[in-house]
Chains A and B, each alone.
Chain A
């Protein structure tokens, strides 16, 4: 209390008071600088508050604190300069710095208190108070710096008054700018706020000065500060520098800001132009239901005089109707639905603008939700499908016209020809009759073509109807052959039927199945050389029946195979002379067979012909009869099976059953015996018990898999612990065809063996590839993946061993091998009568040419050449 009392120097005034006067120009400058600094600072605070990027935020914060702090400090000293006294003014550097620090720190704190988007009232009070305190400290600390030439006395009333002004101005300025809670402060409010703060700063200093009485010091009261004093002209220079700095900060900031605004504007324009150029309509609204996007597609059709500000306004601009023409209103309006959380996915509506523009639209819509799960609004995309619908309608009309207009003349032609051919109108000479028959059958074909086109149309529209019945496959095929006989004869072909020993029942639409057969037979006829046969054969198993139609034509060109089931596809337009077709038949047939739960596919061998086949599920009527079927008609005649089973009775039971089903079987009671037999014979499959006297079955499977020669041997596990075994081999399930529990159901076993056949590669030729380069090995195995089973030998010794054990259909031989030249085993290969393809980087010595079927250089053989060569060699 005493020190404060001393500070005010109350009651003890010396009589040497110095009077000063004001330099009014500098006074004006002080106000200008003050308001300017406050304005720039508040502007920077605004940017600090809206900036998202952390580093930039930091920059705005520093710039704002520095501008406000140093700004008010500069103002203080301008006023000091404006107050002219008859004594030289000097300033103590330490106090000068302290006053500046007070200004900047308080500004920084005050601004930091404003950092949040939403500012509480207490924060405004606090921020304003900190700033007011800062102004006060800045001024009175600044006064302390003058103590060199003066003794200073403060009049308490004026002092209090100055503090009130500082706090009042700062707090009211903060309230004026930020109490509304707007993210960006309105320009006018910002101006007023800056004015308040600027005047407040000046006011504090002027009032403070008014309450200060200066006495000329008798001597340098503070000689200890002598070396650290600043002359007023030095101070002036320093202040000019600071002011320039403030102004450049402000300019940089506004330049940067403008750039940022431009970038945002550009992005906005880009988005708007993009949205406007879309062929689809887009409407979006924010989370309050305010319309934020309404693109050009919609605007161009709308009444421009009506505003579209809120969700509710939209109903005045355009309306939606459901496809059955019921208006969509209120909560059902698509954007409203999306806004309320509905997910709209491709819903069809009729959209009406001003009653006269009507569009068919399909709408997608949903809420817009950001990554933090906050709802930002909703959007609907309106796809205009008017043109699409028109096209579809045109297409339907076209189909209808084709149907009707072609059928009308055909009705006359077919009717006339039918009557003539029937003989009702009397007999014709043989030659004339022949011609009439040709005309009649071609007329029938023309009708078929028209029907094909209509069928495709129906299939695509999902309108094809099936009248499913359970029928005999045999009957249908016989009927079909009868119906197509004439057609085949025209090509000089015979249709031969090789039925299954027992008939199978299938559930199909008989007419549609006849259609498929007619298509396959007519295709076969078209591509068969005259005088050959088209063979229709059936093989059946317990579950499936396969019907094949085989021709002896040129086969299907490789490049066409991938497109064969596509619509309007024909192998080669130059090749189809006289083979007229729509290119639709196979597509239709495949679809029909798939509707019956079956599949349609083909095999083709160049120059030998193509086989198209379809498989249909067999209808189970009587299980025992079906078993008979299989016994009479083995699915895999003459395939060799190995039964590995320690129980003699069970082994014998399996042997009898399987042999009666047409297999050759060997029985091994132990794993050891099985290994010996596997080394001797090529087995179709191994039927394996898991519990064996000398080795555990699972270990045996693993061993077989690790040995290359048996890696792909099919294994069917028959065991009381089959399911346990399956789980033990988990992850390696593919290596075993099936796991069957004992007691064995023989039908299940047969179908498992049958699956071996389907999946198996035993029908593929077996190639031995002698090659030490793993890359080449890999390329060849990938290339031949579908065409052959490839075994690899890395050197001559390995190759020799493998040749002793297995027989191969072809050997592909590299010449440069780690343990010698490939030519060394050529005589051995000749003894095995195996064709040899030398595929090496070096040329083959002519002396060996007689041992070799073909030699290709690695460097100049394409994969195609290689594949073709291999295929030709395999054909022998």
Chain B
């Protein structure tokens, strides 16, 4: 796969406040182009007109949670290989192990540090493609 800079992120988070903070962290600090969703359903809808380089999902969301959304996207041809990151407060050992079985490249614990969030994501991206 041709190496390309990380640019477009599809981000799902149901909490407005957290989304607002993440927006600063991802756009202002990270300089990414971000598509925002509030649950898994919206993610599935968003895939129609958004091509993401990376998926950043919360786990617990109403209607459709992060893991379900990821499974759904993996069925789609152009989303089958897009690297995914979960950013969640559910980080007990067994929970994290479950995420790993879904093939996520990184699990970021909440509360996250908005200052370093972009760097963390970039590093995971670099590790994945490096």
Say whether A514 faces chain B, with CB atoms less than 8 Å apart.
no
Q: Is the CB of B115 within 8 A of A422?
A: yes
In the assembled complex, the CB of A424 is this many whole angstroms from the nearest CB of chain B, namely 7
Question: How close is B27's CB to chain A, nearest CB, in angstroms?
Answer: 12
Give residues of chain B (59-96) contacting chain A, Cβ–Cβ below 8 Å: 60, 89-95
Residues in B neighbouring A400, C-beta threshold 8 A: 90, 92, 95
Residues of B within 8 A of A416 (CB): 17, 21
Residues of A within 8 A of B29 (CB): 424
Asked if B25 and A403 make an inter-chain contact with CB atoms under 8 angstroms apart, the answer reads: no
Binary CB contact string for chain A from 400 to 436 against chain B (1 if under 8 A, 0 otherwise): 1001101111111111101100101000000000000
Q: Which of A447-496 contact B (CB under 8 A)?
A: 447, 454, 458, 463, 465
Whether, in the assembled complex, A729 has its beta carbon less than 8 Å from a beta carbon of chain B, the answer is no
Contacts A410-B111, A412-B15, A465-B93 known; 15 new A-B pairs at CB < 8 A: A399-B92, A403-B89, A404-B89, A408-B18, A411-B111, A411-B112, A412-B17, A412-B18, A415-B113, A418-B113, A419-B21, A424-B115, A447-B111, A458-B92, A458-B93
Chain B nearest CB, measured from A598 CB (Å): 24
Enumerate B108-125 residues with CB–CB distance to A below 8 Å: 110-115
B90 and A411 form a contact (CB under 8 A): no
Q: Are A415 and B90 in contact (CB under 8 A)?
A: no
**Residues on A with beta carbons closer than 8 Å to the beta carbon of B94:** 463
A411 lies within 8 A of B110 (CB): yes
Chain A residues closer than 8 Å to B15, beta-carbon distance: 408, 411-412
Q: For A418, list chain B residues within 8 Å (CB).
A: 113-115
Q: How far is the CB of A595 from chain B (nearest CB, A)?
A: 16
B28 at the binding interface (Cβ < 8 Å): yes
Q: What B residues does A422 contact at CB under 8 A?
A: 115
Q: Which of A403, A412, A419 contacts B115 (CB 8 A)?
A: A419
Q: Mark A589-621, 1 if CB is under 8 A from B, else 0.
A: 000000000000000000000000000000000
Q: Which residues of B contact A413 (CB under 8 A)?
A: 111
For window 1-56 of B, CB contacts with A under 8 Å fall at: 15, 17-18, 21-22, 24-25, 28-29
Query: Is B92 a contact partner of A403 (Cβ separation < 8 A)?
Result: yes
Q: Which residues on the A side are within 8 Å of B17 (C-beta)?
A: 409, 411-412, 416
**Minimum Cβ distance to chain B for residue A447 (Å):** 6
A454 near B21 with CB under 8 A, answer no
A222 to chain B, nearest CB (A): 109
Determine whether the beta carbon of A419 is less than 8 Å from that of B60: no
Residue in B closest to A463 when the chains form the complex, CB atoms: B93
What are the residues of chain A within 8 A of B92 when measuring CB–CB?
A: 399-400, 403, 454, 458
CB B91 to nearest CB in A, in angstroms, measures: 7
Question: Which A496-553 residues sit within 8 Å CB-CB of chain B?
Answer: none
In the complex formed, the residue of A with least CB distance to B95 is A400
Q: Which residues of A contact B28 (CB under 8 A)?
A: 424
In whole Å, how far is A515's beta carbon from the nearest beta carbon of chain B? Answer: 15
In the assembled complex, how far is the CB of residue B85 from the closest CB belonging to chain A, in whole angstroms? 15
| Closest chain A residue to B88, Cβ basis | A404
Considering the complex, give the chain B residue whose CB is closest to the CB of A458.
Answer: B93
A144 to B29, CA, bound (A): 134
Shortest beta-carbon distance from A836 to chain B in Å: 62
Shortest beta-carbon distance, B114 to chain A, in Å? 5
Q: Bound state CA distance, A306 and B5, in angstroms?
A: 73
- The answer to whether A407 touches B93, judged by C-beta atoms less than 8 angstroms apart, is no
* CB proximity of B30 to chain A, nearest CB, Å: 12
A424 to B30, CA, bound (A): 12
When C-beta atoms are compared, the residue in chain A nearest to B117 turns out to be A415
A404 adjacent to B114 (CB under 8 Å)? no
Contacts of B111 in A (CB 8 A): 407, 410-411, 413-415, 447
Are A404 and B60 interface neighbours, CB within 8 A?
A: yes
CA distance in complex: A458, B90 (Å): 14
**What residues on A are CB-neighbors of B110 within 8 Å?**
407-408, 410-411
Nearest residue (CB) in A for B14 is: A408
Closest to B87 in A: A411
Residue of B nearest to A416 (CB): B21
A422 to B114, CA, bound (A): 10
Q: Considering the chains assembled together, what is the distance between the CA atoms of A400 and B96 in angstroms?
A: 12
Residue on A nearest B29 in the bound complex, by CB: A424
Smallest CB separation, A425 vs chain B (Å): 8
Select from chain A the residue with minimum beta-carbon distance to B110.
A411
- CB contacts (< 8 Å) of A424 on chain B: these are 24, 28-29, 115
Most-contacted residue by chain A among B89, B95, B111 (CB, 10 A): B111
What chain B residues lie within 8 Å of A403 (beta carbons)?
Answer: 89-92
- Please indicate the chain A residues that have their CB under 8 angstroms from the CB of B91 in the complex: 403
- Chain B residues closer than 8 Å to A463, beta-carbon distance: 93-94
Q: Which residues of chain A from 380 to 412 have a CB within 8 Å of any chain B CB?
A: 399-400, 403-404, 406-412
Report the separation of the CA atoms of residues A413 and B17 in the bound assembly, to the nearest whole angstrom.
9
Of all chain B residues, which has the CB nearest A406?
B89
Give Cα distance in the complex from A414 to B115, angstroms: 11
Query: Could you pull out 30 A-B pairs where Cβ atoms are within 8 angstroms?
Result: A400-B92, A400-B95, A404-B89, A406-B89, A407-B89, A407-B110, A408-B18, A408-B89, A410-B110, A410-B111, A411-B15, A411-B17, A411-B18, A411-B21, A411-B110, A411-B111, A411-B112, A412-B21, A414-B111, A414-B113, A415-B21, A415-B111, A415-B112, A415-B114, A416-B17, A419-B25, A419-B114, A422-B115, A447-B111, A463-B93
